Amino acid sequence: MALQPKRFAALAVVALAAGGLAACGGSSSSGSSASSGTPVSGGTLRIVAASGPDHIDTVPAYYTPDYMLERGYARQMLAYPASPATSTSGPAWTKATTPVPDVATVVPSTSNGGISADGKTYTFHIKKGVDWDSTPVRQVTSADFIREFKTFCNPAPGGFVGNIGYYQDTIAGLKSYCDKETAFFAKSSNKPTAANIAKFQNSNTISGLSAPDSSTLQVSLVQPASDFLYIMSLPFSSARPVEYESYAPNSLQLDQHTLSDGPYKVTSYLPGKSISMARNSAWKQSTDQIRHQYVSNVQVTEGVTSAQTQLTDMQAGSQDLPMDTSINPPSLPSLEAAKKPNFSINAWTDVFPYVVFNLRSPNSGGAIGNVKLRQAIEYGIDKSAVQKVYGGPTVTTQLGSIIPPGNVGALSSAAYPQANGGANTAKCKSTLAASGVKNPTLTYLYPNDSVNTSVFTAIQASLKQCGITLKGKAEPGSSFFTDLGNAPVNNKAGTWDMGQPGWIPDWFGLNGRSVIPPFFQTDCQVNTINYGCYSSKSMDSLITQAEAATSTSSAASLWGQANTLAMQQALIVPLQSQLFPMYTSARVHGPGAFQPNIGDPDITNLWISG
C-alpha cells in the first residue's frame, strides 16, 4: 500500500520546530480541561497559529490544523464525539475514538441491515435537514459524497487526496477509476482545468459507489474490511457540494468560496495571515449529535511562531487556543504545579519518535542488516533518557510495541525489556557479541532541532556503553524527510543506517491498517514509510489477512502477530508514546479542548466566558 505521509510528516515537523510535544498516549493523573458549567452562547474564539492549515479543501487536507477547522464546516457520514480522556483505557477513551452517526442516520451494522451478510456492502442513509449554506439552502445528498470520492485522484496541483491507500484498498472500482483519470490527464491535450476535471468525473463512475436515491449511499468493497467504518470517518470522506466543480481542487478560488454543512462557515481566508469563521445559519442542531454552535465567531491569527509568545498570549487572555504549536517542555512543570483547570494532559497514542533501520545499507559491511545487531540496539537504547527529553513520565510513556497502547494488536509487554526503566546494557553487549559484528560505527540521521538533537545525544551515549558507535547526521526537517524517504536510492547508497522519525495513526482502536502496512508492507519506493525497504512474505500475508478480517477479534489476532513479527525482527525501536499537554485561556470551557482523532481542540464543543 503506497501512502502519502503528509499527516505524519507535517505533525512531526511542527512538533519538532516547537521543541515540544505533539502526540500522546498512556495515562496521566492530570485532570481534563474545564468542562463543567452551563454552556454560554456568543463571543469570538481566538486561535493562534505558527503557520495554520495547509488546506481548506477536504480532499488534500491531511494535517492536524486542517482537521481542527474542518470540524466546523465539513461533515462525514460518521465522526467522533467530544470526550475528554486522560487514559488510553476506559470508557472515555473508547467513546472519544469510536465512530458515531454524523450525516448518517445510524452506524451501519449487520443487525440493522447496514452491512451485508458477506461484509462487502455498506449502506448509509442521510439525515433529513443536513443542509449546505448554498443559495438557496440545499439538502446534502448521496451524490455529494460520491463527488468527494471522485475527486480523490484529480490532477490539480496539490489536489490529490491525502491518503489514497485506505480507499483504493477497500472500495471496489476506485483504483481503476483513478488509473483511468491519471491516463486521461497524462495526455497533453487534456489540461487539468476545473471544467475538464468536472467533465471527466461526471462522465465516469466508480463501480463500488452507488446512490439508489438522494438520501442513500451504497459502498461495495473489494473484500470485507472490519475497519471500514473508521475509514469512512476520516475527513477525506466529507460531502462535497456541486458548486466546487467550478473551481480546481485545492485552489485558492475554491478555498475562498467554501460551502459548509457544519455549524460554522469560512467567511475570510488569507493564507499565511488569518482565517475567519462565523455561525452557519443553515446548520441545525437537531441534525448533529456531536457538534454545537456555542461561540459566534472563530478567528485564527497566523504567523506567531514562538511557542512562548503563544503561551504568554493565552495566559494574558488575548488568545484562547493553540493550533499547530506545542508547549515547550520547560514550561510543563510550572503549568502542572499550578493545577489550573485550563491546563490538561490528555490521552493520545502514537509512536513518536522511533528509531528506524536502513536494512539495505552497505555501511560497516552491511551490519544493520544483521538482526542480532538490531536486537542489541533494542536493548541498548536508554528509553528513560529519551523520555526525560520530552518532559518525563508525566507526559510520555515508554513503548515496547509498534502498535501503541489503546489500540487493537498492541503488545501487553515490552519485546525488549529495559533494565530498571533504562538501557539493558548487559543484554545489549551479549546480543552484540552473538551478532558477530565488532565495534560497529553507524550513521544516524535526525532532524537538527534542539529536541531531536537531545534525543540523539541520549541514544548515542547509551549505545556507546555496549560498544556501538553512532555518527550523527543532523539535517533540517525539510531535507530530513526527503533523505529518509528516498528509498531505494539512499538504502543502496548507505546515506544512513539509523533514523529518527515519528508516526501518528490516522485513527485509534482497530487501527493496524494505519500502523503496520506503512512501516512493513513490501513497498520500496520514493517517499515510502517503509524506510528500510523491509520485505517479507510472512508479513505481507499477515497484513493481507488482517485487512480482510471480518471481525475485530480476528483482526486483533492478525495485527498482533504482525506486531510480534516486526519486533522479533527488530525492524524499528519504538521509543515512546506521548500524551498531549493542552493549555487554553481561562475564558475557554467545554469538553472539546482536545479530541484525539482531530489531534487538536474541537472548536464546536467549546464556549467562552468573560
Q: Which residue, among 569, 378, 401, 367, has the nearest Cα to 462 in the 3D structure? A: 378
Higher pLDDT, 610 or 355: 355
Specify the pTM: 0.91
- What are the backbone angles phi and psi of residue 248, rounded to the nearest 5°? -65, 140
- List CB contacts of 508: < 8 A, sequence separation 6 or more: 93, 97, 349, 406, 407, 596, 597
* Residue 185 near residue 160 (C-beta atoms within 8 A): no
Q: What angle do CA 506, 141, 68 make, to 5 degrees?
A: 30
Q: What angle do CA 246, 249, 251 make, to 5 degrees?
A: 90
Start-to-end CA span in the chain (Å):
50
> By CB neighbour count within 10 A (0-12 exposed, 13-18 middle, 19+ buried), where does 433 fall?
middle
Mean pLDDT of the chain: 91
Rounded mean pLDDT of 138-149? Answer: 98
Cα R_g (the chain), whole angstroms = 24
Please name the helix (run of DSSP H) or strand (run of DSSP E) that holds residue 47, with its range, or none.
Answer: strand 44-48
Task: Please tell me the predicted confidence (pLDDT) of residue 451.
Answer: 86
Say which residue the cell 442516520 belongs to. Answer: 105
- What are the backbone angles phi and psi of residue 266, rounded to the nearest 5°? -80, 120
Which DSSP letter does residue 404 get?
Answer: P
Four-residue CA torsion sign, 519, 384, 509, 118: positive
* Residue 527 near residue 6 (C-beta atoms within 8 A): no
- d(C-alpha 344, C-alpha 593), whole Å: 9
- List CB contacts of 370: < 8 A, sequence separation 6 or more: 435, 436, 437
- Separation of CA 410 from chain center: 18
- d(C-alpha 347, C-alpha 417), whole Å: 24
Task: Please tell me the predicted confidence (pLDDT) of residue 342.
Answer: 93
Q: Which residue, among 423, 413, 421, has the nearest Cα to 377 in the 3D structure? A: 423
Higher pLDDT, 142 or 15: 142
**Per-residue pLDDT tens digits for 74-122:** 999 999 999 889 889 899 999 999 999 999 999 999 999 999 999 999 9
**Per-residue pLDDT tens digits for 464-483:** 999 999 999 999 977 898 89
Tell me how far CA of residue 14 lies from CA of 66, 308, 486, in angstroms. 13, 15, 21
Rounded mean pLDDT of 334-352? Answer: 91
**In this structure, what C-alpha cell is assigned to residue 272?**
499565511
**Per-residue pLDDT tens digits for 206-218:** 999 999 999 999 9
Task: Please tell me the predicted confidence (pLDDT) of residue 6.
Answer: 39
Task: Please tell me the predicted confidence (pLDDT) of residue 352.
Answer: 86
Q: Where are any strands of DSSP class E within 430-495?
A: 441-447, 469-475
**Per-residue pLDDT tens digits for 504-547:** 899 999 999 999 999 999 988 887 889 999 999 999 999 999 99
171 has pLDDT over 50:
yes
30 has pLDDT over 50:
no
Task: Please tell me the predicted confidence (pLDDT) of residue 487.
Answer: 85
Task: Please tell me the predicted confidence (pLDDT) of residue 390.
Answer: 87
**Per-residue pLDDT tens digits for 17-26:** 222 222 222 2
Beta strand 121-125 with 100-101 is unpaired
Domains and CATH numbers, the chain: 10-304+581-608 (3.40.190.10), 354-578 (3.10.105.10)
Q: Count CA atoms within 13 Å of residue 506 on its CB side.
A: 31
Task: Please tell me the predicted confidence (pLDDT) of residue 331.
Answer: 87
**In this structure, what C-alpha cell is assigned to residue 230?**
473508521
